[in-house]
Chains A and B, each alone.
Chain A
Amino acid sequence: MEQAMNKRGSMKFDRMDLLYLAALTVIGLAIRLILRVVTTDDWAMYWDPWISDLKEMGFSYLATDRYDYTPTFVYILWVISKLPVNPMTAYKGLHIALDFVAAAIMGKISWKVTGSKTKSIAAYGLMLLVPTIWANSALWAQCDIIFMTFLLLCFYYFFEDRPCLAMFFFGMAFVFKLQSLFIFPFLVILWVNKRVKLQHFLWIPALYFLSIVPAWIAGRPLLELINIYMAQGAQDVWSLSIKWPNIYQIIGNQFFLLEYASSGTWLILGILMILMYAMARKRYRITNEFIVQMALFFAILTPYFLPHMHERYGCVADILAIIYALMNIKKFYFPLAHILISFNCYMAYLSHLGSDEPPIYYGVWAFAELGLLILVGLDVWRYMKDPENQLPDAGKEAA
């Protein structure tokens, strides 16, 4: 075979690689083109009317309280409203394009953590085939790929040992979705272990504030804009679990709605406090694998106890599980199981408009999710207990 290599950064592609990349890109695109025609409730009830209002009112729409997503997302809708193409095509097109960007970042992450070209190229290809990725953007017209792309960049720069840039991208993820906070505790652990500085955390409020300034200038009260996530959380409170297989699918999600909603939030806060206390008491060697382990643990744990979790809220754990398996092939079952759980929830919502139960009862999925939580929790615990991974504690070090 002709060895005409084309250099791409530090990775070299030969003809077979390019052929595979082209084939998977075409397949990924074809999947999304087939699904682009579906109009879901979220499109019909939210994005479409919002875009129509934006067309009618222009930027002054941002002064109203008709939207409950962050203004940054509405700016994107505003741009879409200005385009001379079908809004749904433009909207889905943008998110589909981001699917490919996210797949490319996944490939780069794989290259970074494994050094294997085959794995990296296959990671790009497989990311495009992940059902929860194509279903989110092309089928459901959801926008989770935006913040997931930023989270992937965040991890990439942590692996590059550039914490400031990593925190910038975490801040960008937060600007789009509150769900990015599921993994926030792991950042605290990184701070304790001197991988992140306190000033890096400033990216989060700074970027959020910058993102709301245009909407503030447009006329929406600053307090409302700051509290937009709080207002978002106050909606969809008709069930303790909105089709996410968590603890409420085991103990019952339709009882003590108000009481458990509040208590459940405090419970997870308490759990996180205890865990952070336990993890912050000692210093550990922070490896890339430990970073992903911790993040995956919190990405599964937080929505497991937090009330009102939606079907899509496993998406952060989905991508982290893929990275985890790339780093440690023995953990291949994590993405397999988690994406199956996640996609099942997608389909339960999409196929029956939320009215029917999925073929496997949610409680069973909730136990499966609990199993994954325990397994990754044990991985974290084993890592921390290993004397080789423990560093001299702060007090002794100072002495």
Chain B
Amino acid sequence: MDDFLRDFIVKKWKIGRFTFTFLDALLAVCITGTGIFLRLPVINHTVTGPEKIGAVVLDYVLALLCAAIVYRCTAGRNRAFLTYAILAIYPTVAANAALWNVNAVYYVILFFVGFYLYTRGYRALGGFSVLAGVGIALYRLYRWQLVLSVAYPVSLTRGWPNFYEIIGKTAFVDLLDKVFLLCLAGLLLTLAYCFARKKVRLTQDLALQLFLFLAVLIPYFAPYMPAWAGYTADIAALLYFMRRKERFYLPMLHLIVSYSAYAYDINGETKLPMVVFSVILLGILVNVGVDLYREALGQEPERSANS
């Protein structure tokens, strides 16, 4: 009997092109349930309505989508499965909808749909999906600002521990918000220019690195970023780890930063000063930036001096 059970749990089942074991199915069911039970105790912290329920459902869809992305990028079944399992109980994902009712998943999922479509070769559709996500994100940010009903914000950050936590977030708010948006635009243009000039091919690996880099960079310099501005990077860092095991610390650190930002916003305090998290984020940004540079450089062919 023992041997039968031992064999049974690792026996491979096949449905169409999909192969799985009993153990896989068991974890899938259990982790999905765990994700639900993890959300239930905190769900009454904010009003629960159709939007929140929809967001919780989308949390799982996002987890599945990310598993699919990992499968495409790594061809690793276990890694893909692990991605779903981790994301089902990912603290920032769960807290964003169930606890906080922010429901950022409605637009964040579009970024990952875009990325997935890009990896499948549907570049225009992918780009459209990302743009739609950006549009919704900006609209929600605008609506959120209206709700706050302030003549002009008094701080350059609204909870995300970014660059402004280091240099001071309350000075020249009405000027530096535009200035740093322009600086960010300049940095992105420079990145695009260098990539175009060096004829860098956007391979799957490079696309994933670029996706993570932008997900960290943009909220780091953009003004008025809310505490959940690291949502996309949280997940992207996990996908990156699934591709590169040696970068295990990136999702770990980003998650700590991200959840601390949540905690600061919800509880009104954190155990460490927010500036510490800003420095950690800067480290992550540099680390991912160096990886991106190396990857891009790795495919650069020999060139003449005037290139």
The answer to whether A and B assemble together is yes
Identify the 4 closest CB pairs spanning chains A and B, nearest first.
A351-B171, A115-B305, A118-B197, A20-B193
Besides A118-B198, A329-B293, 5 other CB < 8 A contacts?
A20-B193, A24-B186, A38-B175, A118-B197, A359-B275
Contact B167 A347 (CB under 8 A): yes
- Is A125 an interface residue when CB atoms closer than 8 A count as contact? yes
Q: Which of A17, A24, A117, A129 has the most CB of B within 10 A?
A: A129
- Is A203 an interface residue when CB atoms closer than 8 A count as contact? no
Contact B167 A34 (CB under 8 A): no
Contact A131 B168 (CB under 8 A): no
Q: Which of B167, B282, B290 has the most CB of A within 10 A?
A: B167
Contact B171 A117 (CB under 8 A): no
Contact B168 A340 (CB under 8 A): no
Contact B305 A121 (CB under 8 A): no
- Is B120 an interface residue when CB atoms closer than 8 A count as contact? no
Known: A351-B171, A359-B165. A118 touches B185 (CB 8 A): no
Contact A359 B175 (CB under 8 A): no
- Is A27 an interface residue when CB atoms closer than 8 A count as contact? yes
CB distance from A64 to the nearest CB of B (A): 34
With a cutoff of 8 Å between Cβ atoms, the chain B residues found around residue A347 in the complex are: 167-168, 171
With a cutoff of 8 Å between Cβ atoms, the chain A residues found around residue B305 in the complex are: 115-116
A360 to B290, CA, bound (A): 25
CB distance from B107 to the nearest CB of A (A): 27
Known: A118-B198, A336-B286. A31 touches B307 (CB 8 A): no
With a cutoff of 8 Å between Cβ atoms, the chain B residues found around residue A139 in the complex are: 172, 175
CB distance from B113 to the nearest CB of A (A): 30
Contact A27 B171 (CB under 8 A): no
B171: nearest chain-A partner, CB-CB: A351
- Is B170 an interface residue when CB atoms closer than 8 A count as contact? yes
With a cutoff of 8 Å between Cβ atoms, the chain B residues found around residue A351 in the complex are: 168, 170-172
With a cutoff of 8 Å between Cβ atoms, the chain A residues found around residue B194 in the complex are: 118, 122
Q: List 5 A-B contacts (CB under 8 A).
A: A116-B305, A118-B194, A125-B193, A348-B168, A360-B275
Contact A16 B166 (CB under 8 A): no
With a cutoff of 8 Å between Cβ atoms, the chain A residues found around residue B167 in the complex are: 343-344, 347, 358-359
Known: A16-B197, A34-B175. A359 touches B168 (CB 8 A): yes
A343 to B170, CA, bound (A): 15
- Is B146 an interface residue when CB atoms closer than 8 A count as contact? no
Contact A31 B168 (CB under 8 A): no
Q: From DSSP, what is the main secondary structure of chain A's interface residues?
A: helix
- Is B196 an interface residue when CB atoms closer than 8 A count as contact? yes
With a cutoff of 8 Å between Cβ atoms, the chain B residues found around residue A228 in the complex are: none
A34 to B178, CA, bound (A): 8
With a cutoff of 8 Å between Cβ atoms, the chain A residues found around residue B290 in the complex are: 332
A365 to B189, CA, bound (A): 30
- Is B179 an interface residue when CB atoms closer than 8 A count as contact? yes
Q: Mark B158-178, 1 if CB is under 8 A from A, else 0.
A: 000000011110111001001
- Is A225 an interface residue when CB atoms closer than 8 A count as contact? no
- Is A23 an interface residue when CB atoms closer than 8 A count as contact? yes
With a cutoff of 8 Å between Cβ atoms, the chain B residues found around residue A344 in the complex are: 166-167
CB distance from B207 to the nearest CB of A (A): 21
Contact B189 A24 (CB under 8 A): yes
B198: nearest chain-A partner, CB-CB: A118
Contact B190 A126 (CB under 8 A): yes
**Which of the four size classes fits the interface of chain B?**
20 to 34
A10: nearest chain-B partner, CB-CB: B306
A336: nearest chain-B partner, CB-CB: B286
Q: Which of A27, A128, A134, A336 has the most CB of B within 10 A?
A: A27
Cβ < 8 Å to B, chain A residues 156-183:
none
- Is A12 an interface residue when CB atoms closer than 8 A count as contact? yes
Question: Which residues of chain B have a CB within 8 Å of any CB of chain A?
Answer: 165-168, 170-172, 175, 178-179, 182-183, 185-187, 189-190, 193-194, 196-198, 273, 275, 279, 282, 286, 290, 293, 305-307
Partner of A129, one of B175, B187, B282: B187
A12 to B197, CA, bound (A): 13
With a cutoff of 8 Å between Cβ atoms, the chain B residues found around residue A340 in the complex are: 166, 282
**Which of the four size classes fits the interface of chain A?**
35 or more
With a cutoff of 8 Å between Cβ atoms, the chain A residues found around residue B307 in the complex are: 116-118
With a cutoff of 8 Å between Cβ atoms, the chain A residues found around residue B179 in the complex are: 31, 34-35, 134
A17 to B186, CA, bound (A): 14
Contact A23 B171 (CB under 8 A): no
With a cutoff of 8 Å between Cβ atoms, the chain B residues found around residue A30 in the complex are: 182
Q: Mark A1-24, 1 if CB is under 8 A from B, else 0.
A: 000000000011000110010011
With a cutoff of 8 Å between Cβ atoms, the chain B residues found around residue A116 in the complex are: 305, 307
Known: A118-B307, A340-B166. A31 touches B286 (CB 8 A): no
Known: A20-B193, A27-B186, A121-B193. A350 touches B172 (CB 8 A): yes
Contact A35 B175 (CB under 8 A): yes
Contact B187 A350 (CB under 8 A): no
B196: nearest chain-A partner, CB-CB: A16
A180 to B307, CA, bound (A): 34
- Is A396 an interface residue when CB atoms closer than 8 A count as contact? no
With a cutoff of 8 Å between Cβ atoms, the chain A residues found around residue B196 in the complex are: 16
A20 to B191, CA, bound (A): 11
- Is A46 an interface residue when CB atoms closer than 8 A count as contact? no
- Is A333 an interface residue when CB atoms closer than 8 A count as contact? yes
Contact A31 B193 (CB under 8 A): no
Cβ < 8 Å to B, chain A residues 82-117:
115-117
Contact A352 B171 (CB under 8 A): yes
CB distance from A395 to the nearest CB of B (A): 40
A350: nearest chain-B partner, CB-CB: B171
A17 to B189, CA, bound (A): 12
- Is A245 an interface residue when CB atoms closer than 8 A count as contact? no
A122: nearest chain-B partner, CB-CB: B190
A151 to B154, CA, bound (A): 39
A287 to B227, CA, bound (A): 49
A28: nearest chain-B partner, CB-CB: B186
Partner of B186, one of A37, A125, A348, A360: A125
Contact A122 B193 (CB under 8 A): yes
Contact B185 A27 (CB under 8 A): yes
